[in-house]
A and B are shown apart, each in its own frame.
Chain A
Amino acid sequence: MSSRTLIGALVGAAALAFSAGGADAQQKLKVGFIYVGPVGDHGWSYQHDVGRKAIEKAFGDNVETTYVESVPEADSERAIEQLARTGHGLIFTTSFGFMEPTLKVAKKYPNIKFEHATGFKRAPNLSTYAAKFHEGRYVIGQIAGKMTKSGTIGYVGAFPIPEVVAGINSYFLGAQSVNPGVKLKVVWANSWYDPAKEADAGKALLDQGVDVLAQHTDSPAPLQAAEARGKFGFGQASDMERFAPKAQLTAIVDNWSDYYVARTKAVLDGTWKSEDLWGGFDKGMVVMSPFKNMPDDVKKLAEETEAAIKAGTLNPFKCPIVKQDGTTVECKGNGALSDEQVLGMNFYVKGIDDKLPQ
């Protein structure tokens, strides 16, 4: 028992020495990243890595960045602690499942700043940040509503979780606002990432009369299926134009670069504070790639909608929001649904004549 205590004390002392060493070595800030997928996924992790490179470009020799990719959520604590022990002063963990491990490591290393994407648990040295992708989905919904000739638009979803459901509702509300009779078909792939199955899901929708296809899975496969049939689609997470130059109308691009550069600067300046940021068009965290393959009036409409959301004069979830069963959702935000209501959305809006799997 006593030897165990001794070892514990030694490890503690070593950890202290490490963190003290990190505080002394002020000349160069080391910034670490933990990714859930490979940087080559064309989507989620890829865009976070674009943000990492932006830090390197902005601060040059004043910073050093490292990343660990394809970290399983169950094993992430070890990877995060590894970065904490090797002198990193700022660590970004970029998947919802990293929430508890990040919190645990953050408590152990109070001098290191942590940033966790898409979570809700904070500490004095742990910030959270996420992006309002549903704002982009309202814009593509309007484009889809205008572009469809068959009157039926489609959506490939990954899993029926609130983030995806809110995206589907926003997409449909956007389409409905310009095309009141529009129909929506949803197919669940039950996978974030299975390119072949995503392609099949896209083809199934196209075969059943869909002519504009949106997706909330990670690969360009559904968009490419639309291209092969001469139909239209949208890029997801990153600009996927090179996969479907004729089919991609626009893409909802996750832009973490500005945020990552700002947070790194805050650490360098000593002004970093623990915060929670849920930014959309207004903070530049969600960006639309150039509007292409569409008539000028549709392009103009999309640009105006994007500008209105950015200015705060338009909210995709402005009240009243009516559920499928006809009941009106209680309006807890300022003239629109509150952030909590959007983050916990578990219903389809009226007009979607499909059943949400529970």
Chain B
Amino acid sequence: MTTFEAILLTIVTASTPLLIASLGELVAERSGVLNLGVEGMMAMGAACSFAAAVTFNSTAIGVGAGVLAGAVMAALFALVVLGFAANQVGSGLAVTIFGLGLSGLIGAPFVGARRDPVAPLHLPGLTDLPVIGRLFFGQDLFVYGSLVLTLAVALYLNRTRAGLILRSIGENHASAHGLGLPVLKTRFLAILFGGACAGLAGAYLSLVYTRFWSPGMTAGRGWIALALVVFAAWRPKWVLIGAYVFGAATVLQLHAQAAQFGVPSQLLSAVPYLATILALLLLSLRHGRAIGTPGSLGVPFVPDR
């Protein structure tokens, strides 16, 4: 395996959790809900999936538990912001803090346990092709799943009636309500989807990326996922590109250090964030002022007003 190929493989691993979590958040935000609880839901996904995977010795059960944990946290968030029309920013931050704390409690008995690696796909012939074999046909199922998910979310939002309803609710919930569209129900499902994706991203971290669990292991990836949605101007295609740009910047700066390029490592560590700012700048230049922010984003909806 060449160094170039190895770098590409690492980039895929680094990008996948960001992509999955960002897609979930994108759907929630397109419905008009700003969910700042992604980090907490991701932490819960990482802890619960690892706990379940170790207890039942099954990666599939682990993944299921991670998705479920994310969705349960999302349901709690939905109850507060939809049921009680509470401030979304405050509630989201509370869910993040709660999730980080609770994940520590749930994961405590599993500190020090380890899991064997999840076997990657192996297609005889195809996987053994030089250079592109491992990259395209030798990844784990999460990677293919995340790409299918990107396509599904894009098709759902842009090509289906349900997607159109979700978008119109996100743009203007009062008008949508006036037309008789189910605002709260749609948002509830969008939040659940977002939580499930965050949980899945967490499961990827603890089951594939590091293969052990330790407190606070999400280390801010939930926040990066939130930034990516803005970076992508709320479009699935750009979430995909953004996640890979971000993953690549993170991995390449480490390689630049190992290759002794002589650039200060602190500066290289900042490259992904500089890339985000640059992308935001270019996007707003291209699109002018309207860069795709859903009109009702972050505004609580109370049906009777």
Measured CB to CB, the residues of A under 8 A from B are: 38, 40-42, 154, 160, 185-188, 190-191, 193-197, 199-201, 203-205, 207-208, 210, 219-221, 224, 228, 242-243, 353-355, 357-358
Contact = CB atoms under 8 A, between A and B. Distances in A.
Contacts of A160: 265
Contact of B107 (A40, A187, A219, A224): A40
B255 A199 contact: no
B212 A224 contact: yes
Contacts of B28: none
Interface stretch (B151-159, B184-192, B214-222): B214-222
B260 to A, nearest CB: 5
A242 B6 CA distance: 26
Contacts of B258: 154, 185, 187, 204-205, 207-208, 210
B257 A186 contact: yes
A354 B257 CA distance: 9
Interface in B250-271: 250-251, 254-255, 257-260, 262, 264-266, 269
A200 B251 contact: yes
Nearest to B217: A195
Given A42-B112, A204-B10, A190 B265 contact: yes
B39 to A, nearest CB: 13
Interface stretch (B79-87, B203-211, B277-285, B294-302): B203-211
Nearest to A210: B258
A43 B112 CA distance: 11
B260 A220 contact: no
Nearest to A240: B112
Interface in B93-141: 104, 107-108, 111-112, 114, 117
16 contacts: A38-B214, A40-B104, A40-B214, A41-B214, A185-B260, A190-B265, A195-B214, A197-B219, A200-B13, A200-B14, A203-B6, A208-B258, A208-B259, A353-B260, A355-B262, A358-B264
Nearest to B265: A188
Q: What are the 5 closest A-B residue pairs judged by CB atoms, nearest first? A: A204-B254, A40-B111, A188-B265, A194-B219, A207-B6
B159 to A, nearest CB: 34
Given A40-B107, A41-B215, A190 B260 contact: no
A354 B261 CA distance: 9
Contact of B250 (A41, A200, A355): A200
Nearest to A238: B112
B219 A193 contact: yes
Interface string B227-262: 000000000000000000000001100110111101
Nearest to B247: A200
B169 to A, nearest CB: 35
Nearest to A201: B254
A142 to B, nearest CB: 23
Contacts of A40: 104, 107-108, 111, 214-215
A201 B14 CA distance: 11
Contacts of A196: 14, 17, 205, 209-210, 217, 219, 221
Contact of A208 (B14, B111, B217, B255): B255
Nearest to A358: B264
A195 B257 CA distance: 18
Given A196-B210, A242-B112, A357 B219 contact: no
B264 to A, nearest CB: 5
Nearest to A186: B257
Contact of B10 (A187, A195, A203, A219): A203
Nearest to A37: B215
B111 A357 contact: no
B24 to A, nearest CB: 19
Contact of A243 (B7, B108, B212): B212
Nearest to B2: A207
A224 B214 contact: no
Contacts of A242: 112, 114
Contacts of A201: 254
Nearest to B10: A203
Contacts of A205: 258
A224 B114 CA distance: 10
With a 10 A CB-CB cut-off, give which of A185, A194, A204 has the most chain B CB atoms.
Answer: A204
Contacts of A208: 3, 255, 258-259
Contacts of A228: 117
B53 to A, nearest CB: 16
A39 to B, nearest CB: 8
Contacts of B7: 204, 207
Interface in B1-44: 3, 6-7, 10, 13-14, 17
Nearest to A188: B265
A204 B249 CA distance: 13
A243 B107 CA distance: 17
Given A187-B258, A228-B117, A354-B260, A42 B14 contact: no
Contact of B210 (A38, A191, A199, A354): A199
Contacts of B117: 228
With a 10 A CB-CB cut-off, give which of B107, B250, B257, B262 has the most chain A CB atoms.
Answer: B257
Contacts of B3: 207-208
A290 B237 CA distance: 51
B257 A204 contact: yes
A191 B270 CA distance: 12
Nearest to A353: B260
A229 B67 CA distance: 29
Nearest to A183: B260
Given A196-B221, A243-B114, A357-B265, 13 more contacts: A40-B215, A42-B112, A154-B258, A187-B258, A194-B217, A195-B210, A196-B14, A200-B251, A200-B254, A201-B254, A203-B6, A208-B259, A355-B260
